[in-house]
Amino acid sequence: MRGGKFVFAQLMEFLPWKRFQRLVLKYDGDRYVKHFSCSSQFLCMAFAQLTYRESLRDIEACLRAHSAKLYHLGIRGRVSRSTLADANEARDWRIYAEFGQALIAIARPMYADEALSIELANTVYALDSTLIELRLSVFPWASYRPNDSAVKLHTLLDVRGSIPTFLYVTDGKVSDLAILDQLIPEPGAFYVMDRGFIDYTRLYRLHESGAFFVIRAKSNLNASTLFASRRSQQRSAQRPNDHPQQLLRSQGLPASAQTRAHQRSPDRQVTHRADQQLCIASA
């Protein structure tokens, strides 16, 4: 007869359960709960995530198939779709949000010394969003198109260790740019983004905070319209910073956001290095 704990139970032992219980008490998560506690709900959803369950029905069928082992997994009470659905709807989401941040705080130092493909000591973040389609009849509040429903998950990923450090859920209509207003920039960190995040006013806020960003250029953006080439500078009496400064000011940026250097790459394309280390990649 097999002895010892199940693998899932051993994995869950690494979690800071005292911190979880303090959060449950803080937000009265188990108030009026008789059988299916917040910890049981968390274990069910963690099991579903690790085993790639696709729906509440799938979670119920999988766990009921091993109903005799649920107690040893730490799950108390009978697992059913209605119980899970009610718990997911009624329990305070802040319990799991703060617990997730606590887990991130534990995990990030473990990858602090992980080497990147580039020699860079700064923290590097990747920012993007993904659209999650939903059924309109079940989620009428998540309006996206007349006949569709969706939410958008905005994620800030720490490249070292691929650890999400910021998650924000909005309805599908919210622009990617709006998430830049929710971020608290980390001084000295690099933010890697796609062309959908080009907004000069918002990007300058990153510059003001001491952070850097790397972003792809839009397909209709011609670098020659943004910066004067070396040849045109030689023919003109203007300083190298004059033309970029005028353009950036027209985009809502202060005069201090200027280009520092202009260089020509071997392939004869003009490359630029801005004060804020803005890197524009070709589309």
Asked if pLDDT for residue 16 goes beyond 50, the answer is yes
More confident residue, 221 or 20: 20
pLDDT at 251: 53
Q: What confidence tens digit (pLDDT) does each residue in 38-55 have? A: 998 999 999 988 888 888
Cα–Cα nearest to 102, from 152, 42, 37: 42
Neighbours of 250 (CB within 10 A): 9
Q: Is the pTM of this model over 0.85?
A: no
Cα–Cα nearest to 103, from 62, 49, 37: 49
Q: How far is CA 177 from CA 106, 128, 154, 199, 248, in A?
A: 30, 10, 10, 7, 18
Q: pLDDT band at residue 18, thresholds of 50, 70 and 90?
A: very high
Q: pLDDT band at residue 283, thresholds of 50, 70 and 90?
A: very low
Asked if pLDDT for residue 122 goes beyond 70, the answer is yes
pLDDT at 254: 57
Asked if pLDDT for residue 1 goes beyond 50, the answer is no
Mean pLDDT, the chain, rounded, equals 76
Cβ partners under 8 Å of residue 167, min gap 6: 100, 153, 154, 155, 156
pLDDT at 263: 40
Q: Are strands 259-264 and 148-158 parallel, antiparallel or unpaired?
A: unpaired
Give the separation between CA 76 and CA 82, rounded to whole angstroms. 16
More confident residue, 55 or 268: 55
pLDDT at 202: 86
Q: What confidence tens digit (pLDDT) does each residue in 58-110 have? A: 898 988 888 888 888 888 877 888 888 888 888 998 999 899 889 888 887 87
Q: What confidence tens digit (pLDDT) does each residue in 159-204 have? A: 887 788 888 888 888 888 888 888 888 888 889 888 888 888 888 8
CA 119, distance to chain mean position in Å, is: 23
User: Any idea which residue has 């693998």 for tokens?
Assistant: 7
Q: What is the 3-state secondary structure (H, E, C) of the chain?
A: CCCCCCHHHHHHCCCCHHHHHHHHHHCCCCCCCCCCCHHHHHHHHHHHHHCCCCCHHHHHHHHHCCHHHHHHHCCCCCCCHHHHHHHHHHCCHHHHHHHHHHHHHHHHHHHCCCCCCCCCCCCEEEEEEEEEEECCCCCCCCEEECCEEEEEEEEEEECCCCEEEEEEEEECCCCHHHHHHCCCCCCCCEEEECHHHCCHHHHHHHHHCCCEEEEECCCCCCHHHHCCCHHHHHHCCCCCCHHHHHHHHHCCCCCCCCEEEEEECCCCCEEEEECCCCEEECC
Q: pLDDT band at residue 277, thresholds of 50, 70 and 90?
A: very low
